[in-house]
Structure 1
Amino acid sequence: MKRRSRHSLVDRARRLERAVTEYLELPADAVLDLSRLTLLGNGRLIVENHRGISTYRDDLVRLHLTTGELAIKGTGLLLKEIRPDAIALEGTIHSLEFLK
């Protein structure tokens, strides 16, 4: 029961944050701690504001985000740059999937 009410409270707080952000016309990625994805063709992906790597293979990379996980599927995937605030991935990207 406590878990459900805590989850409900977190959901309400996120909805309030989003409403205030929209009302004040602030950039959501900065205010709400969201990740920013930049896809250049299908060969390079930059993910800013990530929370770490959970899986790294040449056909699958899974990243922790504040809203869940991002699964990147492809061939020849290679992490070209890893920084605390951003990751650059190269290879042939076939799909991006957001997981909760």
Structure 2
Amino acid sequence: MENLSGFWERLASRAELETEPMPAQPIIEIGGDSRVLVENHRGVLAYCPEEILIGLKFGQVRVCGSRMVLTRMSREQLLIRGKIDAVTLIRRDGK
């Protein structure tokens, strides 16, 4: 049986619609150079004021900067504030 996310991606592609994130897929929102919101994360893997590494379903996201703090963390959302210099998506091999 075909996986459901593949079905929706094909359907959106054929209908020429912009694809929306699938439920439980990570969403990373960058607000200027001072805020990063990560939804549907898998926890904080490493933390210091200059670098925060966050687990995702398919890999990790690395946020680099200075004076960064976790201002909100729940099972669904993680909010980082500070001076954001870079946000890097790191995929696991084979994904």
Shorter-chain TM band: 0.7 to 0.9
Alpha-carbon RMSD: 1.7
Q: What percentage of residue pairs aligned between the two structures are identical?
A: 20
2:5–2:22 Cα contact (<8 Å) kept: no
- Deviations along 1:45-92, whole A, 9 cap, x unmatched? 110000000001000000000010111000001000011100000001
Query: TM-score, normalised on structure 2?
Result: 0.79
What TM-score, normalized by structure 1, do the two folds share? 0.75
- Report the AA paired with residue 7 of structure 2: V
Offset, 1:17: 4.3
Greater share of strand residues, 1 or 2? 2
**Alpha-carbon contact 1:21-1:28 (below 8 Å) kept:** no
1:50 is matched with: 41
Q: For structure 1, which runs of at least 5 residues remain unmatched after alignment?
A: 1-12
The offset of 1:29, in angstroms, is 3.1
Question: 1:21, CA displacement in angstroms?
Answer: 1.6
Q: Does 1:77 align with 2:68?
A: yes
Which structure shows the bigger proportion of residues in helix conformation? Answer: 1
